[in-house]
Amino acid sequence: MRPQSIVMFERLFLASLALSAAGFVFNYGDVAETLTNDPGVRQLGIGNFVIGIAISGYALYLLLWYLIARQASKAAKWVLVVFTAFGALSALISLAGPWGSILLLSLAINALGIAAVVYLFQADAKAWLDGKPPADPATFD
């Protein structure tokens, strides 16, 4: 049985992925328009490339979720921690730019991702990822 912290990690992480995917779908038109306004980019057919990169990114994050939440992989945990740190740094840098719905969505996605990663450092999650049986809470009664 998976510990509560891993279950909470899973819920928050998948919520951040769902929100990110929804944001990509809703904002794809704006991104595609921006890309097609550049004649050089239009010749390259970059629109399909952007979709391919997005799908690859979501596949990578789903793989990390599976390895952490279902296979108890410490290596995947640390890869996700690094990705989350880069995402948080990027979000902080973007605060200097124009505020709009895309920035707010990005901040919400990052907040969910950070909250999810925090659960990976709870005692029960660390024990589970280390392959140790979780402590029985009844022991402390």
pLDDT at 112: 97
Q: Is the CB of residue 113 less than 8 Å from the CB of residue 56?
A: no
pLDDT at position 13 over 90: yes
pLDDT tens-place string over residues 52-96: 888 999 999 999 999 999 999 999 999 999 999 999 999 888 888
Q: pLDDT digits over 108-138, tens only?
A: 999 999 999 999 999 999 999 998 875 555 5
Work out the angle between the directed axes of helices 46-69 and 4-36 (0-180°, nearest 10): 180
Residue 101, CB half-sphere, CA atoms under 13 Å: how many?
8
Domain boundaries, the chain: 4-132
How far is Cα 92 from Cα 108, in angstroms, rounded to an integer? Answer: 12
Distance between CA atoms of 13 and 19, rounded to whole angstroms?
A: 10
Residue 14 neighbours by CB under 8 Å, 6+ apart: 65
Global pTM reads 0.83
Model pLDDT, residue 46: 67
Angle at 61 between CA 115 and CA 53, to 5 degrees: 130
Average pLDDT over residues 24-32: 80
